[in-house]
Amino acid sequence: MSESAVRVGLVFPELLGTYGDRGNAITLVERLRRRGRPAELVEVAAGAALPDALDIYLLGGGEDDPQVVAATGLRASRNQLARAREGGAVVLAVCAGFQLLGHRYEARDGASMDGLGLVDATTVAGPDRCIGEVVVEPDPELGLPLLTGFENHGGRTTLGSESRPLGDVVVGHGNGNGVDGVRAERLIGTYLHGPVLPRNPALADLLLSWVVGELGPIDDTLPNALRTSRLDAALAHGVRRWWGERRIARG
């Protein structure tokens, strides 16, 4: 009997597709196919109800107005997403998608937007935007190397006592308090664009392993070259910035 295809869901790409986050879906499908495993990319259009039978749900970044529209659609499908997670589905949420996993987002004008409440987190708009390369040291339990990505967001996300971050920020801002993202059972939230999965093949394989189990090796020469290049650039910039701030402080 042939294996059933892994269904990779790209949620509301018209609204949550900033900075090429579609590349996360393409990466997951391709990494499965290169291992001889069937995979299907399922796009869930804005306005449609989320199916509860997908294996992976991908939420990307979005600007303010599209994020509000996406939030309305996601809240309407919260029960479907909850059932999918209870059945073993995986969730990766980036930037605005990550913010929508929490309880609410508070804008600078005081307006508040309810999220899904799937993780214990709240986001508040900051005084300026966090822009640039990011390096994150993941929680050791995940068994991942340093993660690289690009951020462009105004939100500052605070995790509640029931939530754990994806990792510590080495370069950049992340949540705005020394850590980036959130991790839970079969769920990752992060501020890392890039897209994050082409930049970090080990993270992509971790998500896939939560669905299909242990994965065999594939040739990652090109993805690892990209990852190394971006890590080197970000870490070099981080050292320069640290040295500059130190000189300013010392006068």
Please list, in sequence order, all residues whose beta carbon lies within 8 angstroms of the beta carbon of residue 39, skipping any fewer than 6 positions away.
5, 6, 7, 8, 28, 29, 32, 33
**Core vs surface per residue 156-191: b (16+ CB within 10 A) or e:** bbebeeebbbbbebbbbbbbbeebbbbbbeebbbbb
Among 94, 27, 28, smallest CA distance to 67 is for 94
Tokens describing residue 87: 């059945």
- Please identify every residue annotated as catalytic: 95, 193
Cα–Cα distance measured from residue 139 to residue 147, given in angstroms and rounded to the nearest whole number: 11
